[in-house]
Amino acid sequence: MDQRRAGLLEAMALERYVLRGGPADSIIEPVMAPTVAVVAPLPTSTTNRSATATVRSVRPLAAPAPGAAAGLQPPPETADLDWVGLEAAVAGCRRCGLCEARTQTVFGVGDRAARWLIVGEAPGPDEERQGEPFVGRVGQLLNAMLQSIGHPRPTVYIANVLKCRPPSNQDPTPEQVRQCLPNLQRQIELVAPDLILCVGRVAAQNLLGVDTPLAQLRGKVHRFGAAELAVVVTYHPAYLLRSPSEKRKAWIDLQFALEVANGRRAAI
């Protein structure tokens, strides 16, 4: 393993495994489990955007979907908004009960022309206080994950499914998602990223409109919206803080996401 790669693993705080009986400094790198490899290399002349001959988990923006977000219809007023209008609409939103207790909304942060868009679940207390997604320890781990794959935080766009903090870290309700998801949809349309990285089950299930377990969503290229943007799913950094041994799997997911974003993998 070269020094750069070792540094990236360090940045993500992944454990190093020294081979017993092997060279003192040999490190076993995580390997993709064959059971989750459902993608094929792209022909070299094909870009990831055009590689949609066969797709999985396709859901047009306004189409009914099987999961929690079924029947989602972005209100026309949201669908047409530019960044200024969308930010103002979110700041003044009263479409669900979460507006009653919030101190401020958490819109999203980052490069509005980013190649990668990160989708989380909902702001927590730290995020509500600072008005920015993924701050505090969870945010620091997300930053390290992004840094480790060469897409540091300032180069990506980060947004949540919900823009208001649910009380006591409760999972978003279907109604809250139904009311709020159009805002994220519009953010995705405006950024038009090469890749959407969903962190955690709740973000992935609600964005894709499925109730598939996270383990089955990993290692696949899903597609979102009429533009069929590539979506890859990995663990939530809060979960990784609680279960550090799972970081190796997250590393595999991030390598997979890189390959998808760089057009080296596509859905079969």
Six-digit token string for 30: 């995580």
Note whether 195 and 229 are within 8 A (CB). Answer: yes
Residue 112 pairs in a beta bridge with none
One residue of 8, 107, 121, 177 binding ligand URA per CB under 6 A: 121
Choice between 123 and 263, CB closer to ligand URA: 123
One residue of 67, 108, 110, 133 binding ligand URA per CB under 6 A: 133
The least CB distance from residue 50 to ligand URA, in Å, is: 31
Residue with tokens 């099987």: 66
| Residue 123 touches ligand URA, criterion: CB under 6 A | yes
One residue of 107, 116, 134, 157 binding ligand URA per CB under 6 A: 134
The least CB distance from residue 53 to ligand URA, in Å, is: 33
**What is d(CA 12, CA 229) in angstroms, rounded to the nearest whole number?**
26
| Residue 124 touches ligand URA, criterion: CB under 6 A | yes
The least CB distance from residue 169 to ligand URA, in Å, is: 9
The least CB distance from residue 231 to ligand URA, in Å, is: 16
| Residue 196 touches ligand URA, criterion: CB under 6 A | no
Choice between 29 and 132, CB closer to ligand URA: 132
Nearest to 177 by CA among 103, 60, 67: 67
Choice between 124 and 263, CB closer to ligand URA: 124
| Residue 235 touches ligand URA, criterion: CB under 6 A | no
Note whether 135 and 216 are within 8 A (CB). Answer: no
Q: How many residues does the chain have?
A: 268
Choice between 140 and 212, CB closer to ligand URA: 140
| Residue 67 touches ligand URA, criterion: CB under 6 A | no
Strand pairing report for 222-224 and 229-234: antiparallel
Q: How many CB atoms lie within 10 A of CB 69?
A: 23
Residue 242, CA distances (Å) to 28, 123, 180, 237 in order = 23, 18, 28, 9
The least CB distance from residue 135 to ligand URA, in Å, is: 7
**What is d(CA 5, CA 22) in angstroms, rounded to the nearest whole number?**
20
137-159: b or e for each residue (b if 16 or more CB lie within 10 Å)? Answer: ebbebbbbbbbbbebebeebbbb
Choose the binding region for ligand URA from 38-46, 127-135, 170-178, 260-268 (rule: CB under 6 A).
Answer: 127-135
Amino acid letter at 15? E
| Residue 253 touches ligand URA, criterion: CB under 6 A | no
By the criterion CB under 6 A, which residues form the site for ligand URA? 120-124, 127, 133-134, 138, 160, 238
